């Protein structure tokens, strides 16, 4: 069973950069139309999946950053206004951090 989990975890690590790239694409769509509910929902779903799958496969740093990202998206949804420059910068920092962690995980797989 441990060998199977290790195999699945390595497969997940190899997929992580693609998952983060998909999330980045959703982020760009959201930033282009920040009031559109559908783009926010897509982005939130992808970040939430990263948070959960990171925990499932033992990538706690991915989960930690995705949790922070998700909390920011929740705050943006409540404010019902486009993200401020500071919030945009935070989204960018979190995205960069996720990209770095995903690449690190891929290299170690």
Domain ranges for the chain = 2-108
What's the distance, Cα to Cα, between the start and end of the chain in Å?
18
Mean of per-residue pLDDT scores for the chain: 93
Listed as own residue / partner, the contacts of 38-43 with beta carbons closer than 8 Å and 24 or more positions apart are 40/73, 40/76, 40/77, 43/73
CA distance linking residue 87 with residue 11, whole number of Å:
33
- The pLDDT tens digits of the residues spanning 67-82 come to 999 999 999 989 878 8
CATH of 2-108, one of 1.20.120.160, 1.10.3720.10, 1.10.540.10, 3.90.1150.10: 1.20.120.160
> Which single residue is written with the structure tokens 């706690």?
60
- The pLDDT tens digits of the residues spanning 20-57 come to 999 999 999 999 987 768 889 999 999 999 999 999 99
Listed residue (74, 64, 16, 79) closest to 43, CA to CA: 74
Residue pair 27/71 in contact by the 8 Å Cβ criterion: no
């Amino acid at each position: 069973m441990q060998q199977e989990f290790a195999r699945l975890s390595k497969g997940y690590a190899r997929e992580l950069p693609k998952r983060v790239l998909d999330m980045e694409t959703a982020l760009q769509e959201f930033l282009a139309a920040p009031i559109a509910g559908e783009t926010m929902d897509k982005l939130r779903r992808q970040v939430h999946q990263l948070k959960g799958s990171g925990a499932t496969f033992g990538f706690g740093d991915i989960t930690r950053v995705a949790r922070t990202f998700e909390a920011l998206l929740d705050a943006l949804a409540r404010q019902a206004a486009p993200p401020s420059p500071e919030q945009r910068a935070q989204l960018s920092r979190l995205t960069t951090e996720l990209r770095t962690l995903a690449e690190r995980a891929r290299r170690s797989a």
